[in-house]
Amino acid sequence: MYFLKNAGSAVSWHHEFGGLFGRDKIVPTVLEAMDIIEHLAAIPLFSGLSREDLDDLVPVVQYKTYQRGERIFAEGDEGTGFYVVISGRVKVYKLSFEGKEQILHMFEPGAPFGEAPVFAGKAFPANAEALEESVLLYFSRNAFIERINKNPSLSLNMLAILSERLHTFTRLIEDLSLKETPGRLAAYLLYLSERQGALDNLELGISKTQLASILGTIPETLSRIFSKMTKQGLIDSDGHGRFRILNRLMLERLAAGEVRFSQSGSHTEE
Amino acid sequence: MYFLKNAGSAVSWHHEFGGLFGRDKIVPTVLEAMDIIEHLAAIPLFSGLSREDLDDLVPVVQYKTYQRGERIFAEGDEGTGFYVVISGRVKVYKLSFEGKEQILHMFEPGAPFGEAPVFAGKAFPANAEALEESVLLYFSRNAFIERINKNPSLSLNMLAILSERLHTFTRLIEDLSLKETPGRLAAYLLYLSERQGALDNLELGISKTQLASILGTIPETLSRIFSKMTKQGLIDSDGHGRFRILNRLMLERLAAGEVRFSQSGSHTEE
DNA sequence: CCGTTCTTTTGACTTAAGTCAAGGACAAAG
DNA sequence: CTTTGTCCTTGACTTAAGTCAAAAGAACGG
């Protein structure tokens, strides 16, 4: 589903960065260069690149670190480069005039973001903010385009990533336009359970407020739907962000829009 | 805005194709090859390519013609290639379980569509249908990827197009999630008036039913909003798809979400 | 010209979801 | 242990927008 961008790499991402490189350090030391290469090699965007190709990228990247809640870029900022998450988590979102937030994407280690303006030559169309302390790699526009010119496999990787993202946006549009909120929540829960592999157990990993913003609704509405799903025996919660799917079939029918929530359910009415 | 994809080319696209090439013709004759090249040269995706590069593309393309209402591909079909509109018009859309339609994009001559599955290696995530008799150029996946490998400028063009499309999807998501229907209509009208250049006069060019599907609503709702806008003196209509903007400022404020429709307007109440 | 069909409009009604307000749970900070 | 702030929940209410039904217009083919 569209909700999270996971690198899917088994490589241990969570090194300690403490103090090794400061924010916006430009000239890498030899030690850092080795570190950078290790990071680059584990980024799907660079899969299939030779060791020399990676070496070639080292001088054009910078580490940047952001605190929880710190903004990375704002809508309208000029897109002079893009980022890859090394550690931490980043949300990309839009705000309405009244302040309602719609999360477009959450990015986890290994995932690039902010690339579109690099190729379209436009400003960032949305805002980005670190959800926790995060280390990012920054690639400046011009240097990266140069590398793409020389490396077809790099451009094909990038095309694949943008295509994949278009696909997730398509699903988000479909959900917002054609499904009701309970269906979107059901889809999200099923997606999480699949992604986490742990059969019918799953963990949100984010606050319900954030989840509401991902699903295109507000916390109050989400809360009501959660309690209704629980009452109807579709899911069960430990009260700490962990859930168990009790009626997968019904969740799937909800997610597909086959059933309306008000009518559906195992009628535990009294 | 996100609504229409226009090539922006001044080249006369509307040749007569009558009988010259049948559907799915594969081996081009010399005459057709010249014709193909002429078409290719006017497609933004191929801008900046040398004459030889274009020649090189000729053997991998096919013309296909579709009647009004004919389906080009369906959600779930394998994406073995992509299309470029030569003449006519194509909509790409999603359907809900109950049959409600959301148009993701309308494509006009010069615009490519269906490319994402080519690079992501997935099935088409939506349906495509010709809105009128249309001639398309079909590029098969493998042959095109080969060309990309050899031609960085081609891949950069494609990256720009995908990035641009991501941008339009971002706006669509924003609109669906953060704006109300009157705001979306206002934005669409402003977009049309800008695109058509004719100051405050504009022409829909599509049925209101289609427009409803673009805006993520249904014809009844759209109709009510149109009549309300007219009553409030924001717009004026000739009843045949042509409109005049009477209060641009208010439309802009509606589109930005600064004002709610129910409260706004030049209070022509009685 | 007439009947069929599609599009658009309008009215009466229902419903999903947002707003506003209050209170409870929980965690971090003093 | 109390205070403070954030997150979550719940209730009462409002509102935007969808449903259903009917009818008027416009478009099309014979």
Q: Give, in Å, how far the C1' of C28 lies from the CA of A208.
A: 20
Whether residues A169 and B167 touch (CB distance < 8 A) is answered with: no
Which residues have CB under 7 A from strand C?
A 98, 100, 180-182, 216-218, 220-221, 239, 260-262; B 207-209, 219-220, 222-224, 226-227
B160 touches chain A (CB under 8 A): yes
Domain A7-151 matching CATH 2.60.120.10: the answer reads yes
DSSP string, chain A: --SEE-----S------TTTS-TTB-S--HHHHHHHHHHHHT-GGGTT--HHHHHHHGGGEEEEEE-TT-EEE-TT-B--EEEEEEES-EEEEEE-TT--EEEEEEE-TT-EES-HHHHHT-B-SSEEEESSSEEEEEEEHHHHHHHHHH-HHHHHHHHHHHHHHHHHHHHHHHHHHHS-HHHHHHHHHHHHHHHH-STTEEE--S-HHHHHHHHTS-HHHHHHHHHHHHHTTSEEE-SSSEEEES-HHHHHHHHHTSS-TTT-S-----
Q: Give, in Å, how far the C1' of D14 lies from the CA of B134.
A: 48
Residue B166 with chain A: CB contacts under 8 Å: 116, 162, 165-166, 169
Q: Give, in Å, how far the C1' of D7 lies from the CA of A218.
A: 13
Q: What pTM value is reported for the model?
A: 0.88
Whether residues B120 and A163 touch (CB distance < 8 A) is answered with: yes
CB B17 within 8 A of CB B87: yes
| pLDDT confidence tier of residue A16, bands split at 50, 70 and 90 | very low
Residues 64 through 93 of chain B touching chain A, CB cutoff 8 Å: none
Pairing of strands A112-113, A201-203: unpaired
Question: What are the φ/ψ torsions at residue B51 (nearest 5 degrees)?
Answer: -60, -40
Q: Name the range with the highest mean pLDDT among A155-159, A264-268, B24-28, B264-268.
A: A155-159
Q: Give, in Å, how far the C1' of C30 lies from the CA of A106.
A: 35
Residue nearest to nucleotide C25 (CA to C1'): A239
Whether residues B102 and A173 touch (CB distance < 8 A) is answered with: yes
pLDDT tens-digit readout, A71-97: 999 999 998 999 999 999 999 999 999
Which two tokens mark A72? 């990375």
**Which residues from 220-239 of B have any strand D atom under 7 Å from their CB?**
220-221, 239
Q: Give, in Å, how far the C1' of D30 lies from the CA of A172.
A: 47
Question: What's the 3-state SS for A57-69?
Answer: HHHHEEEEEECCC
Average pLDDT of A153-168? 96
Integer distance in angstroms from the first to the last C-alpha of chain A? 36
Average pLDDT of B256-267? 69
Burial of A46 (0-12, 13-18, 19+ CB in 10 A): buried
Whether residues B125 and A171 touch (CB distance < 8 A) is answered with: yes
Statement: residue B24 has pLDDT above 90 = no
Which two tokens mark B210? 């289609």
Domain A179-269 matching CATH 1.10.10.10: the answer reads yes
Report the pLDDT value the prediction gives residue A32, as an integer from 0 to 100: 72
Statement: residue A11 has pLDDT above 80 = no
Residues 32 through 61 of chain B touching chain A, CB cutoff 8 Å: none
pLDDT tens-digit readout, B219-257: 999 999 999 999 999 999 988 889 999 999 999 999 999
Alpha-carbon Rg for chain B, nearest whole angstrom, is: 20
Residue A227 CB neighbour total at 10 angstroms? 11
Instruction: Give the bridge partners for B113, in sequence order.
Output: B83
Q: Give, in Å, how far the C1' of C3 lies from the CA of B229.
A: 35
Nucleotide nearest to B215 (CA to C1'): D17
Residue nearest to nucleotide C19 (CA to C1'): A220
Nearest CA in chain A to B165: A166
Whether residues B104 and A216 touch (CB distance < 8 A) is answered with: no
Residue A60: name the closest of A136, A143, A158 by CA: A143
Q: Which residue has the tokens 């696209």?
A: B13
Report the pLDDT value the prediction gives residue B15, as an integer from 0 to 100: 40
Report the pLDDT value the prediction gives residue A239, as an integer from 0 to 100: 84
Question: What are the φ/ψ torsions at residue A233 (nearest 5 degrees)?
Answer: 75, 20
| Greater model confidence, B229 or B269 | B229
Residues 93 through 132 of chain A touching chain B, CB cutoff 8 Å: 94-98, 100, 102, 104, 115-122, 125-126
What single letter denotes the amino acid at residue B29?
A: T
Residue A141 CB neighbour total at 10 angstroms? 18
Chain mean pLDDT for chain B = 87
Q: Is the dihedral of CA A217, A79, A115, B154 positive or negative?
A: positive
> Given B121, B159, B169, which is nearest A166 (Cβ)?
B169
Average pLDDT of A117-121? 95
Nearest CA in chain A to B126: A170
**Residue A69: partners with Cβ closer than 8 Å, 6 or more residues away:** A129, A130, A131
Domain ranges of chain B: 7-151, 179-269
CA angle at residue A147 from A145 to A149, to 5 degrees? 70
Q: Report the residue of B153, B155, B171 to disrupt the A interface, i.e. the one with the largest count of A CBs within 10 Å.
A: B155
Residue B100 with chain A: CB contacts under 8 Å: 177-178
Q: Give, in Å, how far the C1' of C10 lies from the CA of B261.
A: 20
Average pLDDT of A247-260? 94
Report the pLDDT value the prediction gives residue B201, as an integer from 0 to 100: 92
Residue A122 with chain B: CB contacts under 8 Å: 163, 167
Statement: residue A219 has pLDDT above 90 = yes
pLDDT tens-digit readout, B171-227: 999 999 999 999 999 999 999 999 998 789 999 999 999 999 999 999 999 999 999
Residue A85: name the closest of A157, A17, A143, A1 by CA: A17
Statement: residue B269 has pLDDT above 70 = no
Residue nearest to nucleotide C9 (CA to C1'): B223
Statement: residue A21 has pLDDT above 90 = no
Report the pLDDT value the prediction gives residue A154, as an integer from 0 to 100: 93
Report the pLDDT value the prediction gives residue A7, as an integer from 0 to 100: 41
Statement: residue A235 has pLDDT above 90 = yes
| Greater model confidence, B263 or A155 | A155
Residue B159 with chain A: CB contacts under 8 Å: 119, 148, 155, 158-159, 162
Secondary-structure percent of chain B, ordered helix, strand, coil, rounded to 5? 40, 20, 35
Q: Is the CB of A224 under 7 A from strand D?
A: yes
> Given B121, B155, B179, which is nearest A148 (Cβ)?
B155
Share of chain A above pLDDT 70, in %: 85
